């Protein structure tokens, strides 16, 4: 069981999940716990000979009932695939899986915030290469979600709606369709950070029409494929799906605006952007890449990857 | 594609040692274009299997 303490100087919770030290770490190709279980082979986490998408409770959870949730979302039984390499239909199905999990977890009294994410690449701490994401059900409102709510209050409206209006007329738009826009934000913290936002104000996947989920999947696929074309290598990233908090708000639905943020840690094909003195000790990102330049390079990469 | 549970698979120890076969699946549910089956692993953890199922005009 994890323990949560409050760091007064930072004004943020810190979770101690010491059992996670024992989690499986970069197993060899033949012992991936996220592979299908092959007849005659060792049992994996998934007792099926083949599968499309599977979700299960993490064996090494950062959170677990009655104090939250930690789930693993396996995108495919193809160990060597990736989110961007999946057929569009599978990514669209993944949107529905995310939607289903959000709907179920938001109903739990011990979950205040449902956070869907993917860590890709050893550069961001991946311990299993098989294509997968995770879902944390936080038993509290995490700081980033609280900051987005503070941005809403500061701007006097939904911050994502307000920023999206600016981005549509900027030189940082990467692609758009009827329901979704993809852009490098004006004040990106990571060199090739990009955001995918629903054009209409949708608090969560639950408010999206099927067509919006399909077009979200299209945009997601195009961006991730573009990322891999950027430096002609699988690009490591953290993918963060932000939706409305699910905790009690005196009966009113919590505000939020469904969008997906990508934080790739590379600043060149072989150089990492490290979180060092200024970022860690002063909370100020120093970036080597202007968002407008990043957007131009990413647009080219997305066009090459189509 | 219909995945079938594999019964009686061996465990190789290490990372696989605690992997468990799942209990028999409950009846399939529908969610959008998906069919899903909820299972419990032998250690009690939830496992959900999602499969694409084409919508038909009668649905």
Shortest Cα distance, chain A CAs vs residue B21, angstroms: 5
pLDDT at B23: 54
> What is the ipTM, given to two decimal places?
0.94
Three-state SS letters, A39-71: CCCCCCCECECCCCEEEEECCCCCCCCCCCEEE
B49 contacts in chain A (CB < 8 Å): 48, 51-54
**Rounded-to-integer distance, Cα A129 and Cα A24, Å:** 11
Q: A19: how many CB neighbours lie within 10 A of its CB?
A: 13
A26 part of contact set with chain B, CB < 8 Å: no
Which one, of A142, A123, A124, lies nearest residue A62 by Cα? A142
Three state DSSP letters for chain B: CCCCECCCCCCCCHHHCCCCCECCCCCCEEECCEEEEEEEECCCCEEEEEEECCCCCCC
Helix axes A210-230, A291-305, angle to 10 degrees: 100
pLDDT at res. B24? 57
Q: Whole-angstrom Cα distance, residue A245 to residue A242?
A: 9
Residues of A carrying an active site annotation: 132
B19 pLDDT band (50/70/90 cuts)? very low
Q: How far apart are CA A251 and CA A253, in angstroms?
A: 7
**Residue located via tokens 């054009």:** A199
Option in A52, A59, A92 nearest B51 (CB)? A52
A183 CB-contact burial (10 Å; exposed 0-12 / middle 13-18 / buried 19+): buried
From residue A123, give the alpha-carbon distance in Å to each of A136, A263, A266: 21, 12, 9
Asked if A59's CB is within 8 angstroms of B22's CB, the reply is no
Q: Give me the pLDDT at residue B34, please.
A: 98
Q: Do A99 and B11 touch (CB under 8 A)?
A: no
How would you classify the pairing of strands A69-74 and B34-40?
Answer: unpaired
CB contact under 8 A, A100 and B46: no
Q: Which pLDDT value is given to residue A90?
A: 98
- Tokens found for residue A165: 């209006």
At residue B10, does pLDDT exceed 80? no
Q: Which of residues 212-251 of A touch B (CB under 8 A)?
A: 213
**pTM (two decimals):** 0.91
Given CB atoms, is A57 within the 8 Å cutoff of chain B? yes
Q: How far apart are CA B23 and CA B44, in angstroms?
A: 9
What DSSP element (H or E) covers A180?
A: strand A180-183
Model pLDDT, residue A305: 97
> Bigger pLDDT: B51 or A247?
B51
Q: What is the reported pLDDT for A93?
A: 98
pLDDT digits (tens, 9 = 90+) for A197-252: 999 999 999 999 999 999 999 999 999 999 999 999 999 999 999 999 998 666 67
Of residues B27, B50, B14, the one with CA closest to residue A56: B50
- Predicted local confidence at residue A221, as pLDDT: 98
Q: pLDDT (tens digit, 9 = 90+) per residue, A14-64?
A: 999 988 877 777 788 888 999 999 888 888 999 999 999 999 999 999 999
């Amino acid at each position: 069981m994890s323990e949560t303490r409050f760091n007064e100087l930072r004004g943020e919770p810190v979770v101690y999940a010491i059992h996670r030290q024992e989690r499986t770490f970069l197993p060899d190709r033949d012992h991936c716990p996220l592979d299908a279980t092959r007849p005659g082979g060792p049992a994996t986490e998934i007792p099926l000979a083949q599968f499309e998408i599977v979700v299960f409770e993490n064996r090494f959870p950062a959170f677990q009932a009655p104090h939250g949730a930690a789930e693993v979302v396996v995108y495919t039984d193809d160990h060597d695939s990736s989110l961007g390499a999946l057929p569009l239909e599978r990514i669209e199905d993944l949107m529905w899986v995310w939607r289903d999990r959000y709907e179920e977890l938001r109903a739990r009294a011990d979950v205040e915030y449902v956070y869907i994410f993917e860590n890709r690449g050893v550069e961001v701490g991946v311990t299993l290469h098989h294509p997968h994401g995770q879902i944390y059900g936080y038993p509290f409102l995490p700081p980033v979600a609280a900051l987005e709510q503070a941005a809403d209050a500061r701007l006097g409206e939904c911050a994502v709606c307000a920023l999206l209006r600016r981005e549509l007329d900027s030189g940082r738009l990467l692609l758009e369709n009827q329901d979704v826009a993809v852009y490098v934000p004006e004040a990106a913290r990571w060199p090739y950070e990009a955001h995918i936002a629903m054009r209409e104000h949708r608090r969560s996947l639950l408010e999206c029409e099927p067509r919006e989920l399909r077009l979200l999947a299209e945009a997601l696929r195009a961006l991730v494929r573009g990322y891999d074309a950027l430096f002609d290598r699988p690009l490591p990233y953290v993918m963060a799906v932000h939706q409305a908090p699910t905790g009690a708000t005196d009966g009113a639905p919590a505000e939020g605006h469904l969008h997906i943020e990508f934080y790739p840690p590379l600043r060149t094909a072989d150089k990492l952007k490290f979180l060092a003195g200024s970022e860690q000790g002063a909370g100020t990102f120093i970036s080597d890449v202007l968002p407008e330049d990043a957007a131009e390079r990413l647009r080219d990469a997305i066009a090459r990857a189509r | 594609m219909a995945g079938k549970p594999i019964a009686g698979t061996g465990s190789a120890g290490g990372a696989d040692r605690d992997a468990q076969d799942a209990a028999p699946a409950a009846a399939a549910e529908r969610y959008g274009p998906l069919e899903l089956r909820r299972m419990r692993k032998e250690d009690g953890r939830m496992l959900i299997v999602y499969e694409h199922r084409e919508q038909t005009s009668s649905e």
